[in-house]
Structure 1
Amino acid sequence: MSRPTKCRWIAYGLSVFVAWTSLYLLASCKPKTKPTAPAATSVPTVDTARIRLQNQADASRSAAERATKASNSTVTNYDRDTKTYDSIRVDLR
């Protein structure tokens, strides 16, 4: 074999080796899988008229309690401040 023919065979062999190696490496790389979201679970709720009315009554009761508490604290604060003001004695001599 002549020298150029040997060089060609070596180049062909190397190119085939590189091609097979690159195919092997590309085939061994697996694509990344997307994370799957957990399955959505629904919670069955029973919404009857009785429960709705009960919830409305609870909301109204708590609103009334808050209003009563706020008005009582205002009256209490006013009474306390009035007593404090009335108890001040000033001696003008």
Structure 2
Amino acid sequence: MKKIVLVALAVLVAGCGVDPVKMNTSDGSSRYFMNCGDDKGACVAKANELCPNGYTISNENNKTQMSFNAWRGSSESEITVEVQCK
């Protein structure tokens, strides 16, 4: 039982990271699409890691949805960004 709990915890922690998707554009440049969940800071940290010379955010979306517990005042946010390295 203890082993199952540790494996489940490892899967949850691994799922919390930002996984960028590299996209090649028609002009030959590359952009990274990232789903930040509700933590834009995680995407900013990943963009700094991917682009040590800086980056520009070419597209940002913030979609907020009311959750099942909306009557308690909770909501779920999904932030996505596209960054282009300089």
TM band (smaller chain): under 0.3
Higher Cα radius of gyration: 1
Q: Which has the higher contact order (CA 8 A, sep 6+)?
A: 2
| Superposition TM-score, scaled by structure 2 size | 0.26
| Superposition TM-score, scaled by structure 1 size | 0.25
